[in-house]
């Protein structure tokens, strides 16, 4: 297939491009405006296989349409989003413009030029504060921040477009907490000013930060800190390949992507200390927009696509992230 990957220089996007290149089955075009993505990731991917990279924003609709005229894409895998929950609460328009409006630009052109398969990078943030410890794809969606709402709105657009165009199929992947780095050390998280817990912990271990914070220890959880379902980046990347293969032959579908187990912030920090040694941690105020607990029920993904995680180990996830930090520190 000829596949367009948007945001392919970013953390998750680059790992998915790597998996696609390693499969040696597809022709890949990557677009990214590098506002969050990394040119280093693109250079690293060029050692894996051949692909076309274009520095482009989804806001540039005229240039984007020229790309669709030039290439007959059979599938799109769409990342290219802002992802910081707290920032979305203070700059909501930034999130609606990029995560929703720009996605609509892309979906519009996909329909105009007959692209049949669309894999969308969504988020567990669309569930908001669930009433149950574990959520399935049919759990109520009540996002509590602009990030989650911007993604949910794009889900709605995809669903309505697919209802109107029977030749258009989507796979919506609702991620839980993604962490770690590629097992060969080639790729990792380069996201500037990262706020992800495991990234921050490994930066602290490696000396890039002198301390880290726990944002709130008074949640209604077993130790007062937020609980999340952490998934290794390579397992997540594999899920995109399985989802794409699924919708090529089946109807549109929505999948949770996680391991189905939760770790509290304190548990992750304790595991990080076991992996890399002690470091300084302080308690800070809660951040706006953080739900207390989010854990995936990903049974549907496993059952329908055959996806099976290979790296379900919190210490393995942390070790791969730490190896990446130490490599980029050199």
Q: Considering the candidates 11, 147, 230, 246, report the single residue annotated as catalytic.
A: 147
Least confident of 49-63, 106-120, 190-204, 206-220: 190-204
How confident is the model at residue 51, as a pLDDT?
98
% of the chain exceeding 90 in pLDDT: 90
Q: Quote the tokens at residue 217.
A: 């220890």
Structural domains in the chain, sorted by start: 2-179+230-257 (3.40.50.720), 197-228+260-329 (3.90.25.10)
How confident is the model at residue 311, as a pLDDT?
96
% of the chain exceeding 70 in pLDDT: 99
Q: Quote the tokens at residue 193.
A: 């000013």
**Confidence label for 10 from pLDDT (cuts 50, 70 and 90):** very high
170 is catalytic: no
How confident is the model at residue 302, as a pLDDT?
97
- Whether 226 and 219 have beta carbons less than 8 Å apart is answered as yes
> Tens of pLDDT along 276-312?
999 999 999 998 878 888 899 999 999 999 999 999 9
**Confidence label for 195 from pLDDT (cuts 50, 70 and 90):** confident
Q: Mean pLDDT throughout 109-129? A: 96
Asked whether residue 205 carries a pLDDT value surpassing 90, the answer given is yes
Integer Cα distance of 157 and 161 in angstroms: 6
**Confidence label for 330 from pLDDT (cuts 50, 70 and 90):** very low
How confident is the model at residue 192, as a pLDDT?
62
Residue 177's DSSP bridge partners are 230
Q: Quote the tokens at residue 232.
A: 């290794």
**Confidence label for 212 from pLDDT (cuts 50, 70 and 90):** very high
Q: Mean pLDDT throughout 85-92? A: 93
> Tens of pLDDT along 265-281?
999 999 999 999 999 99
Please give the mean pLDDT across all residues of the chain: 95
Q: Mean pLDDT throughout 40-59? A: 96
Q: Mean pLDDT throughout 223-244? A: 97
> Tens of pLDDT along 53-87?
999 999 999 999 999 999 999 999 999 999 988 89
Q: Mean pLDDT throughout 106-135? A: 94
How confident is the model at residue 198, as a pLDDT?
95
């Amino acid at each position: 297939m000829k596949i367009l990957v948007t945001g392919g220089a970013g953390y998750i996007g680059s790992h998915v491009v790597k998996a696609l290149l390693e499969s040696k089955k597809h022709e890949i075009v990557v677009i990214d405006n590098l506002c969050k993505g990394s040119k280093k990731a693109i250079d690293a991917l060029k050692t894996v296989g051949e692909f076309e990279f274009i520095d482009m924003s989804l806001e540039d609709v005229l240039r984007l349409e020229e790309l669709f005229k030039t290439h007959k894409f059979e599938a799109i895998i769409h990342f290219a989003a802002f992802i910081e929950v707290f920032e979305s609460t203070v700059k909501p328009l930034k999130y609606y413009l990029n995560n929703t409006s720009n996605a609509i630009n892309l979906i519009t052109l996909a329909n105009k030029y007959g692209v049949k398969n669309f894999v969308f990078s969504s988020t567990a943030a669309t569930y908001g504060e669930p009433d149950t410890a574990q959520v399935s794809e049919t759990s109520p969606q009540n996002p509590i921040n602009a990030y989650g709402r911007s993604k949910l709105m794009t889900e709605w657009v995809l669903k309505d477009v697919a209802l109107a165009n029977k030749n258009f199929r989507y796979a919506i992947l609702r991620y839980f907490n993604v962490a770690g780095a590629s097992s060969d050390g080639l790729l990792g998280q380069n996201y500037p000013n990262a706020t992800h817990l495991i990234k921050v912990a490994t930066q602290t271990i490696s000396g890039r930060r002198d301390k880290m914070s726990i944002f709130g220890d008074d949640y209604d959880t077993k130790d007062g800190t937020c609980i999340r379902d952490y998934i290794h980046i390579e397992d997540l990347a594999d899920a995109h390949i399985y989802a794409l293969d699924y919708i090529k032959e089946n109807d549109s579908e929505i999948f949770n992507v996680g391991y189905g187990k939760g770790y509290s912030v304190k548990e992750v920090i304790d595991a990080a200390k076991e992996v890399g040694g002690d470091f300084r941690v302080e308690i800070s105020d809660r951040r706006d927009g953080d739900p207390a607990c989010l854990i995936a029920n990903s049974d549907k993904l496993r059952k329908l696509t055959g996806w099976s995680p290979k790296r379900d180990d919190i210490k393995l996830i942390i070790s791969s992230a730490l190896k990446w930090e130490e490599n980029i520190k050199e």
